[in-house]
Structure 1
Amino acid sequence: MSIGTGIATGKIILMGEHSVVYGEPAIAFPFAGAKVQVEITANETNTLISSYYHGLLEEVPSHLKNVKDLLHRLQQDFHTGPFATSIVSTIPSERGMGSSAAVAVALTRAFFDWIKKDFTKEELMTYVNFSEKIAHGNPSGIDAAAASGTDAIYFIKGHPITSFPLTIDGYLLVADTGIKGQTREAVKSVAHLFETSKQLASQAIQRLGIETKRAKEAIIANQLEVLGESMNNAHQALQQLGVSNQQLDQLVSLALAHGAYGAKLTGGGRGGCMIALTKTKEQAENISRILLSDGARAAWIQGLGVYEHV
């Protein structure tokens, strides 16, 4: 029996959280430490098998509407019979790691593999963006671009997304606080800060923009220490905006105390994940053990630059 397989990675926002809303740049990249794998096979009925739901596709819960509608659209566009879809993911949901976009990328790749049809990047993005609009209303496109590519993404609101290679020799540790990120609430609080303390908010946003540009230059020039400094400065600016919390700050401080070049929250904040930059894999593994013993729910490590595929 023919089996269609599709894989996609999660994504990490390296720099530019929140400031991207106000016209400053952001950097994100595919994070291979967490993945989604989808398998599609012919079946008597349309069914979905996942950790969240197992049963008829028509009866999926409302939070999986983006998955249901994407699979229905693919089925209608290519006139296939019913099929069973299996989703296995190690990307935690609501942690700022692009879970929904990665699922959409893997689903679309698996479907095209199942029907033995080649597809262009534009076709893939059409279906992924369709799914993401259902999931998020008005997505920036960062998640979809990062989950479907291999390079770092440089994004400025209102401008085309551009990519550049990760050419920095280091390792990135991602640690999950175990608390769902509160992106909507954090975005609203930043907007409120602009109303009540405009100068403070403006300075923090401007600082985030400066550090994001500096971080891009550091990556291209393979300057690990400079990138670490930018990450540290960015976290301080995010603290000023009020989008960090005690758990994130504690994990960031621990990582720095044990040799990380830089550490900061990633994503919307108020929970979710933090990231730490190290020179060696051994350093990343050591800090990972320390953070897990201090309350982090999970941790992943990815090599950057020349170490990416090691």
Structure 2
Amino acid sequence: MKSSYLAHGKVILIGEHSVVYGYNALALPIMSLHIKATVEPGPQMWMDTASYHGPFFMAPDEYDGLKYVVKTMLTKANSNENLRITYTGEIPIERGLGSSATVALATTKAMNDYFNLNLLNDEIIEVTNHAETINHGKASGLDAATVNSDYLVFFNKKSGPSVLRAKLNATLLIMDTGELGSTKKAVAQVQQQVQSSREADEKIKQLGQLADDTKQAWVNQDRVSVGKIFNEAEEILDSFGLATIKIKQLQQLALENGALGFKLSGSGLGGIVIVLCDNIEVAKSIAKKCQKVAVNSWIEEI
């Protein structure tokens, strides 16, 4: 008997950091980036990934969230069965693409199917979110909601996710800086400033407002306004010290070559950036110009 589940990645369009403080955020599922978890019987509890092959519960600390998922699901199934869990596909880790939420969700759903637990969606998300908290500290729930959605997610920590089916009729270029971001470090860095400065607290409020403005402009298919909002959000995120030299280099190249807007996505201190473009031709042109700075890029019609 074998059970598999394929889960996709995500990018935060706007609202990173402010979402932790109760403001709204918008995030987009990225179908071209995915990871499949396959659960099958094994001689011992075993994990196979691109970078680790070995006993499941002896995996390095970065797999602690997954260890929680597996222990929890085994408890729910009232089982001590040995399983081999294999992960295939690739989402670059620590880049803001939702890799940890994706593997946690894929594992939870694959084990749910394997043991015929018939868990409700809320129960599956609860397990995924707890794994995210183990991985990142103060997880908002946004990543788990978005990797579990086929549509744009408008998210609030208190009221949860709601789906936005509207299209902007634009193109999004996603570029990987190649620099590992640290969500825990970035969240702590912002938190320290917010707690000690009223100005920083105001900036968080502004980010929350920009997420609301983005939703309205998106529904109106006003990509020029969305681009301006992205640029404004990037200024605020940069003021928290979250933009690296590489991020600033990519920003300059993108805006000099026809981008409507540019911002980092995720926690910052590395990771990915997103570039709003009028069309796919502009996106391809910017990606080419940025080849020497970015290590990878993806294009999504939005």
What is the DSSP-based 3-state SS (H/G/I as helix, E as strand, rest coil) of the residue aligned with 1:37? Answer: strand
Shift of 1:213: 1.4
Shift of 1:116: 5.3
Query: Which residue does the alignment assign to 1:107?
Result: 107
CA distance in 2, matches of 1:127, 1:116: 16
Q: Deviations over 1:225-244 (max 9, x none)?
A: 11111111111222223221
Query: Which residue does the alignment assign to 1:143?
Result: 143
Shift of 1:131: 2.2
Shift of 1:182: 3.4
Give the residue type in structure 2 aligned to 1:53.
Answer: Y
Shift of 1:126: 3.0
Shift of 1:194: 4.5
Query: Which residue does the alignment assign to 1:8?
Result: 7
Shift of 1:7: 1.0
CA distance in 1, matches of 2:105, 2:166: 21
Could you tell which deviates more after superposition, 267-276 or 12-21? 12-21
CA distance in 2, matches of 1:135, 1:182: 10
CA contact under 8 A between 2:261 and 2:276: conserved in structure 1? yes
CA distance in 1, matches of 2:246, 2:276: 18
CA 1:194 to 1:160, structure 2 compared with 1: closer, same or farther past 3 Å? closer
Q: How does 1:89-168 map to 2 (within 5 A)?
A: 89-115=89-115, 118-168=118-168
Shift of 1:301: 1.8
CA 1:189 to 1:39, structure 2 compared with 1: closer, same or farther past 3 Å? closer
Match status 1:169 vs 2:169: yes
What is the DSSP-based 3-state SS (H/G/I as helix, E as strand, rest coil) of the residue aligned with 1:242? Answer: coil
Q: How does 1:190-201 map to 2 (within 5 A)?
A: 190-194=190-194, 198-199=198-199, 201=200
Q: How does 1:47-58 map to 2 (within 5 A)?
A: 47-58=46-57
Shift of 1:109: 2.0
CA distance in 2, matches of 1:68, 1:188: 24
CA distance in 1, matches of 2:253, 2:235: 15
CA distance in 1, matches of 2:191, 2:59: 35
Shift of 1:87: 0.6
Shift of 1:18: 2.4
Give the residue type in structure 2 aligned to 1:301.
Answer: I
CA distance in 1, matches of 2:66, 2:194: 37
Shift of 1:197: 5.5
CA distance in 2, matches of 1:114, 1:157: 31
CA 1:205 to 1:37, structure 2 compared with 1: closer, same or farther past 3 Å? same
Query: Which residue does the alignment assign to 2:36?
Result: 37
Could you tell which deviates more after superposition, 111-120 or 66-75? 111-120
The alignment yields a C-alpha RMSD, in angstroms, of 2.3
What is the DSSP-based 3-state SS (H/G/I as helix, E as strand, rest coil) of the residue aligned with 2:160? Answer: coil
CA contact under 8 A between 2:15 and 2:26: conserved in structure 1? yes
What is the DSSP-based 3-state SS (H/G/I as helix, E as strand, rest coil) of the residue aligned with 1:169? Answer: coil
What is the DSSP-based 3-state SS (H/G/I as helix, E as strand, rest coil) of the residue aligned with 1:161? Answer: strand
CA distance in 1, matches of 2:250, 2:243: 11
In structure 2, runs of 5+ residues without a counterpart are none
TM-score normalised to structure 2 length: 0.90
In structure 1, runs of 5+ residues without a counterpart are 305-310
Shift of 1:160: 3.1
Query: Which residue does the alignment assign to 1:308?
Result: none
Shift of 1:195: 6.4
Q: Deviations over 1:105-133 (max 9, x none)?
A: 11122223334564431232132133223
Number of residue-to-residue matches in the alignment: 301
CA distance in 1, matches of 2:229, 2:201: 18
Query: Which residue does the alignment assign to 1:275?
Result: 274
CA 1:16 to 1:58, structure 2 compared with 1: closer, same or farther past 3 Å? closer
CA distance in 1, matches of 2:183, 2:117: 37
Query: Which residue does the alignment assign to 1:307?
Result: none
Query: Which residue does the alignment assign to 1:73?
Result: 72
CA 1:172 to 1:60, structure 2 compared with 1: closer, same or farther past 3 Å? same
TM-score normalised to structure 1 length: 0.88
Match status 1:183 vs 2:183: yes
Shift of 1:265: 0.7
CA 1:48 to 1:260, structure 2 compared with 1: closer, same or farther past 3 Å? same
CA 1:6 to 1:157, structure 2 compared with 1: closer, same or farther past 3 Å? closer
Give the residue type in structure 2 aligned to 1:26.
Answer: A
